[in-house]
Amino acid sequence: MRSKKLVVLGVAGLMALAVPTVAYASPDKSVTVTVMGTSDLHGNTLNWDYFNNAEFNDSKANDVGLAKVSTLVNKIRRERGADHTLLFDSGDTIQGTPLTYYYAKVKPVDKTGEIHPMARAMNAIGYDAVTLGNHEFNYGLPLLATWVKQMKAPVLGANAVHAKSGLPAYQPFTIKTMKIKGEKPVRVGVLGLTNPGVAIWDKGNVEGKLRFTDLVASAKKWVPIIRGLGADVVVVTAHAGDNGMSSYGSELPIENASALVAEQVPGIDAVLFGHAHNEVAQKFVTNKVTGQQVLLTEPSRWGQRLSVIDFKLTKKHGKWAVTGKSSATLNTNTVAEDPKIVALMKKQHDTTVTYVNTVVAQSKEQLLAAESPYKDTPILDYIHKVQTETVKKALEGTADAALPVLSIAAPFSRSATFPAGPISVRDMAGLYIYDNTLMAVKLTGTQLKDYLEYSARYFNQLAPDAPIDLSALTNAGGTPDYNYDQFSGVTYDVDVAKPVGQRIAGLSYQGAPVAADQQFVVAINNYRQSGGGGFPHVTTAPVVYNAQVEIRQALIDYATATGVIDPAAFTEPNWKLTRDGKPLF
């Protein structure tokens, strides 16, 4: 166990110096410091798939979870010496599995006082700093504050500022000081940057309370301060991808700005980044100001990889300087779970397993989502049914009660299944894997057509005589399944032989063509309504329903109330793919 002493500085009242252990310089007065990193853990503590009620498995034989990460971390600490190593995380920690959902919504830790499972595991492993991801804000600021308080490591977010004052709402950075026998200590500064998209994706939780500033501008402000406090190495932990693009247009600072930070901000040695869920073992970016090479690495997601950065520091003119750096990603499927973490998480894990296996209804037939990205399937119609009924009931007695109610849903998981027979909470969670809430907005016929055309970008254009290759039909331009929205309540065709923007045909309501000025109420999730995916019109459309009802919970409640899931009661094929007007299937 590494002893650590926290010294609080006076800069903005928020900076911290932590002093761990002792490192040793070689005779040529060089020393190697190792920084390990995770990102996008998304609530995975054990190598377990709560949706399938089994050990995690995928087509690439990946494993997941902090118990696996812990084994690798312990191995690196033994090899390098614990006094030579640090462990950071780049965000999206407390959301993503039924485990973290249970302790955020069913038995929220900010109400019960129980230790959050991610705090429990990360504290035991010994993280040195953790950065806020956008999903940290999903459950509201009170629960986030509880988790931050429970964490032994500082939780960083320099560009999350108070809406009114502009002052940091979270600790911007920390500096770790490593004592070196017979030499000056090495100080490693880490600056945490979160994603500006929080302002859109969790608008309901942060509006009027927090603002999220530009990553590059924030780094330009804080890196000189960190250097001025004596940091010999500066690492940025950023919850932002590296492609310089945004999913939400230009109304907010750039979403995926990690490489831009490396290019434009002098004084950074490395960037440990996340958000994109990619594996980047090692990438170098040239800083445009200094000409220095900045190292970037991203450790995939869910604890599948651990990034390991080695910095060589050499004593020059009485100061340590980085004279070499390299990184690699280690696969957690090469090691066993740390039994210490497995034992530590057992109670909360078992509680979650019991919860997700609670039976809520009986299904008359097996329903599969495998074909949902390209066919109208009953299992997605079930989502439409629940969303439509919930909104219709809420609008009773209002001025909008007479308007047609439509519904939007996307194929979140191709592996989702309702088996014939008992349906459990985990079956529902496997179908609706995100913690979205239900809203409803008003759209005109013209806006509805625009929305559908935008959604239909998901398909690659298919030549008239080309064979149908399902693997090449969908996800055009990298569009994920969760950004292909399907409507219920209207009928339409998607002609994949036509170019983008000219694909929707036969858009009708109750047998009549939809008029340009015809008004509809559309049931939609909060992620989409707030701008997630960049769909047109919905962010400015009048909101007619927003009761903060979680869609997953609405599905569970509806199933519990009816007791039976009968596709005959809700299946309504209303859209299909065509090629030059002829059905594709």
* Bridging pattern class, strands 359-363 and 504-509: unpaired
Residue 528's CB: how many other CB atoms inside 10 A? 23
Residue 49's CB: how many other CB atoms inside 10 A? 18
Mean pLDDT, residues 56-80 taken together: 96
Give the range among 15-24, 77-86, 292-301, 319-328 with minimum mean pLDDT.
Answer: 15-24
pTM for the structure as a whole: 0.83
Considering only residues 13 and 323, tell me which one the structure prediction assigns the higher pLDDT: 323
382 to each of 91, 100, 430, 569, 576, how far by Cα in Å? 33, 25, 13, 9, 17
Two structure tokens written together for 359: 């039976």
Strand partners, 258: none
Mean pLDDT of the chain: 93
Is the separation of the CB atoms in 514 and 523 below 8 Å? no
CA-nearest of 354, 534, 549 to 437 is 549
Sign of the dihedral defined by the CA atoms of residues 107, 110, 113, 114, in that order: positive
Each residue's pLDDT tens digit, 41-52 = 999 999 999 988
Two structure tokens written together for 112: 């019960």
Query: Residue 73 pLDDT > 80, yes or no?
Result: yes
CA-nearest of 508, 538, 507, 533 to 523 is 538
Each residue's pLDDT tens digit, 454-498 = 999 999 999 988 999 999 999 999 999 999 999 999 999 999 999
One CATH from 3.30.565.10, 3.60.21.10, 3.50.50.60, 3.40.640.10 for 30-352 = 3.60.21.10
DSSP H helical segments within 102-171, as ranges?
A: 109-112, 117-125, 141-150
Each residue's pLDDT tens digit, 112-163 = 999 999 999 999 999 999 999 999 999 999 999 999 999 999 999 999 999 9
Is the separation of the CB atoms in 267 and 218 below 8 Å? no
446 to each of 407, 508, 511, 516, how far by Cα in Å? 16, 12, 17, 5
In 332-450, DSSP assigns E strands to: 359-363, 367-368, 405-409, 417-418, 421-424, 438-444
Residue 217's CB: how many other CB atoms inside 10 A? 14
Is the separation of the CB atoms in 262 and 297 below 8 Å? no
Two structure tokens written together for 167: 């002052």
d(C-alpha 508, C-alpha 448), whole Å:
11
Q: What string of DSSP letters covers 71-103? A: HHHHHHHHHH-GGGEEEEE-S--S-SSHHHHII
- pLDDT value, residue 28: 62
- Any idea which residue has 């078992």 for tokens? 350
d(C-alpha 390, C-alpha 30), whole Å:
66
- pLDDT value, residue 454: 98
Is the separation of the CB atoms in 183 and 315 below 8 Å? yes
Each residue's pLDDT tens digit, 497-549 = 999 999 999 999 999 999 999 999 999 999 999 888 999 999 999 999 988 78
245 to each of 36, 51, 242, 255, 506, how far by Cα in Å? 27, 32, 8, 6, 34
Would you kindly state where each structural domain of the chain is located, as residue ranges?
30-352, 358-583
559 to each of 95, 246, 379, 384, how far by Cα in Å? 24, 37, 13, 13
CA-nearest of 542, 211, 210, 218 to 399 is 542
- Domain 358-583 fold is 5'-nucleotidase;  domain 2 (3.90.780)
- pLDDT value, residue 248: 78
Is the separation of the CB atoms in 171 and 155 below 8 Å? yes
Residue 572's CB: how many other CB atoms inside 10 A? 13
- pLDDT value, residue 249: 73
Query: Residue 16 pLDDT > 80, yes or no?
Result: no
